[in-house]
Structure 1
Amino acid sequence: MKTFRFLPLLLLFIVASCDSVQVYSDYDKAVDFKPYKTFAFMKSGIDKVEISDLDKKRILNAIDQQLQAKGMTKSENPDLLVNIFTKSREEISVNQFNAGWGYGWGYGWNPYMYGGQTTVSSSTEGTLYIDLIDAKKKELVWQGEGTGTLSKDMDRKDEIVNNIVTQILAQYPPALPKEKKK
């Protein structure tokens, strides 16, 4: 009876782990991020990104929503320029499942094993980088990176992109170290 109480929690953990995103960020520690109130997308950089225009639009819309939720506004004369770039790689998984004994050698892999099954699966892992550049100095001040498994399922693309962008921009502005007491 007690195990049924933990079942929903276990299922939630399994579902959440399928959509896990690894997120990192880096920033210039000499920069004060408080004055940055406006942003614009850096068209020249974004045009070079080699992904579909639909995926670019999804990413830019998600970034726009997240920055506006942080109180920033789009501007023709921005404090920050936003640039993105992406990387992807195919991951191949080969799993061998062997059942039974193999000529007296016991369990474990051997070339004479019978009853085995091999499965091969592939997935695409993508990394999205979001660069925030000081518009006046033309210097990178913050970079966020998120890596996760991509999907070709049309119904999930918006959800996945929003999740990755949200997690990346959750780290902006950086938490500055507290001033030391004298």
Structure 2
Amino acid sequence: MTTIRTKVLLNRNFLTATLLALTLTACSSNPTVRSDQATDVNFSQYQTFSFVEELATDRAGYTTLVTQHFKDAISNELAARGLRYVESDPQLLVNFNSNVANRSETRSTPTASYHYGYYHYRRGIVYAGFPVYSNDVSTVHYKVGTVNIDLVDAAKRRLIWEGIAEGTLKQNDLEQPRDAAARTVALIFEKLPTQQN
């Protein structure tokens, strides 16, 4: 009786570990967001912004759709924080960049199969045979997107804040880039300080 109980506990622990790993994998698809800032800046002193003349996403010499999506999202976030867009003499200059890279990862997943042997008659009944553990190895290909947003003090020509998001792109992100840009920018701007630091 003790050995059956031990086997049930081992199976339960294995399932718990597998579910935990799957949960962590699902959570890792959310972007990792971080920021850095100048320590001697009072962010509440800024009231106006504009974009740098040649944005990093416009390398081809014209305004891309990616640029338009990010400009709209950034303008909305800054306006929500009380800043106003101006064509000339802004207090803040905004620059941003986005990049998509292909990555591959080799993953090893523990799997359990049950060895019945002589006890084949147990298959499909309430109890299982002895678990035999092995590792399935697979290679996963995926896309990782990185977005950087810089805020520059226009008068001093000095970077005062940068926000960065990096995460795995889902198919929906690639099909709906405007929505993906807006969500990512909103997450980045959650890190923007609004008071004296």
**TM above 0.5:** yes
The structure where helix makes up a greater share of residues is 2
**Cα distance 1:32–1:175, how it changes in 2: closer, same or farther (>3 A)?**
closer
Measure how far apart 1:22 and its partner are: 0.9
Q: Which position in structure 2 is the counterpart of 1:124?
A: 143
Measure how far apart 1:21 and its partner are: 1.5
Q: Which position in structure 2 is the counterpart of 1:168?
A: 188
Aligned to 1:162, the other structure's residue is in SS state helix
Contact 2:94 2:149 in 1 (8 A): yes
Contact 1:49 1:85 in 2 (8 A): no
Aligned to 1:163, the other structure's residue is in SS state helix
Deviates further, 58-67 or 87-96: 87-96
**Cα distance 1:158–1:18, how it changes in 2: closer, same or farther (>3 A)?**
farther
The Cα offsets for residues 49-100 of structure 1, whole Å up to 9 and x where unpaired, read as 89x8112211111101101111111012200000012333222234466665
**Is the aligned partner of 1:88 residue 2:108?**
no
**Cα distance 1:43–1:150, how it changes in 2: closer, same or farther (>3 A)?**
farther
**Is the aligned partner of 1:30 residue 2:40?**
yes
Q: Which position in structure 2 is the counterpart of 1:75?
A: 86
**Is the aligned partner of 1:107 residue 2:127?**
no
Identity of aligned residues (%): 28
Deviates further, 34-43 or 85-94: 85-94
RMSD of the TM alignment (CA)? 3.0
Q: Tell me the number of residue pairs that the alignment of Structure 1 and Structure 2 aligns.
A: 152
Deviates further, 23-32 or 145-154: 145-154
Contact 1:27 1:174 in 2 (8 A): no
Larger radius of gyration: 2
Aligned to 1:23, the other structure's residue is in SS state strand
Q: 1:99 & 1:119 partners in 2: Cα distance?
A: 16
Aligned to 2:75, the other structure's residue is in SS state helix
Aligned to 1:34, the other structure's residue is in SS state helix
Contact 2:94 2:151 in 1 (8 A): yes
Segments of 5+ residues of structure 2 without an aligned counterpart are 1-22, 116-131
Contact 2:112 2:134 in 1 (8 A): no
4+ runs deviating over 6 angstroms: none
The code of the aligned residue for 2:190 comes to A
The code of the aligned residue for 2:77 comes to Q
The code of the aligned residue for 1:163 comes to R
Contact 2:93 2:153 in 1 (8 A): yes
**Is the aligned partner of 1:55 residue 2:59?**
no
Q: 1:96 & 1:17 partners in 2: Cα distance?
A: 18
TM-score (norm 1): 0.69
Segments of 5+ residues of structure 1 without an aligned counterpart are 1-12, 110-116, 178-182
Deviates further, 16-25 or 70-79: 16-25
Q: Which position in structure 1 is the counterpart of 2:8?
A: none
**Cα distance 1:95–1:148, how it changes in 2: closer, same or farther (>3 A)?**
closer
**Cα distance 1:137–1:168, how it changes in 2: closer, same or farther (>3 A)?**
same
Q: 2:60 & 2:36 partners in 1: Cα distance?
A: 21
